[in-house]
Amino acid sequence: MSLKIVSLFSGAGGLDLGFKKAGFNIIFANEFDKDIWATYEHNHPETYLDKRSITLINENEIPQCDGIIGGPPCQSWSEAGSKKGINDKRGQLFFDFIRILRAKQPLFFLAENVSGMLAPRHKDALEEIKKTFEDAGYKLYFKLLNATDYGIAQDRKRVIFIGFRKDLNVHYTFPLPVENKLVLNDVIKDLSDSAVPAINKSKPNSNVKFSNHEYMTGGFSSMYMSRNRVRAWNEPSFTIQAGGRHAPIHPSAPKMIKVEPDKFIFAENKDKYRRLSVRECARIQSFPDDFIFKYSDLNHGYKMIGNAVNVDFAKILAKSIIQALPV
């Protein structure tokens, strides 16, 4: 019998899918963003999706479970976001995650967030979060991990919180890095010639031959041009971010040229530089090709993928939890 999981701040369900692939059963999910609901329900039809704000959900309305997983909103901790951390209402949602955890007392939990929460300005808030996890009855394991160290074709640093109920006396160690490192050539090479541009910069293109294989067009901001955005075929991708305008450039283009401390230019005709497609970003995030993203604007597709936990990375963490549990 598989262990039952409650997923909070589920997004499109990358973390959920990784846990499912490891053998867990996702019995309840919560996601407040209406632009994500159709995608989640299409790809996780067996899971009940609660669409309310987590702040409105009473702990008694959530089923008993063996584990709680989720990625509380990261914008307030991000280097590219507000940087307000726990002083932002979104940052405070971490405590709703812990509120439900304290009430349900499952065997374990996993929470994920961006590396920006390790910035010195967030030190006190981070210590408060860690202490609150401990006070809820859990032994906390906490580490910054990079997905590329675990066979993922992407540099993606994330803070991982894993906790086990103290009475279980679990001694957990994070998975060890693997030797087999994947690069872009391993995961998106076969998609190179079939991508199509979006209509009117960001609208879906009905001529797409492969699901979600369209890319956003339009200009590149000065912030985007402040550094090289091209990784070669023999390198892992840059971090897939939550927005089409920030998507990395396809590896078929030459590296950008630095002309000033914070200014790069394209080495050749800019028409040779296109953003990665939604499907290419999904591949880099380890979503299978039969995982369909539903959107009326490509920005929503890029956002869902960029905010997700990498599926294969989630599976690795899920398996490490199974191995640690005394069940």
Active-site residue identified among 12, 69, 74, 318: 74
Rounded-to-integer distance, Cα 234 and Cα 186, Å = 9
CB 6 within 8 A of CB 28: yes
Query: Going along the chain, which residue ranges are E strands?
Result: 4-8, 25-30, 48-50, 67-70, 108-114, 138-146, 157-165, 196-197, 214-215, 257-260, 263-265
Please enumerate in sequence order all residues whose Cβ is within 8 A of that of 210, keeping only pairs 6 or more positions apart, or say none.
Answer: 191, 194, 279, 289
Rounded-to-integer distance, Cα 113 and Cα 159, Å = 5
Please enumerate in sequence order all residues whose Cβ is within 8 A of that of 220, keeping only pairs 6 or more positions apart, or say none.
Answer: 245
CB 9 within 8 A of CB 93: yes
β-strand 108-114 against 157-165: which pairing, if any? Answer: antiparallel
Which tokens sit at 161?
A: 């919180």
Q: Which residues pair with 112 in a beta bridge?
A: 160
Helix (H, G, I), strand (E, B) or coil at 269: coil
Provide the residue type at 263 as one letter: K
Rounded-to-integer distance, Cα 30 and Cα 7, Å = 6
- Has 74 been annotated as catalytic? yes
The torsion defined by the Cα of 112, 115, 119 and 121, in degrees rounded to 10, comes to -40
Rounded-to-integer distance, Cα 162 and Cα 144, Å = 12
Q: Give catalytic residues, as residue numbers.
A: 74
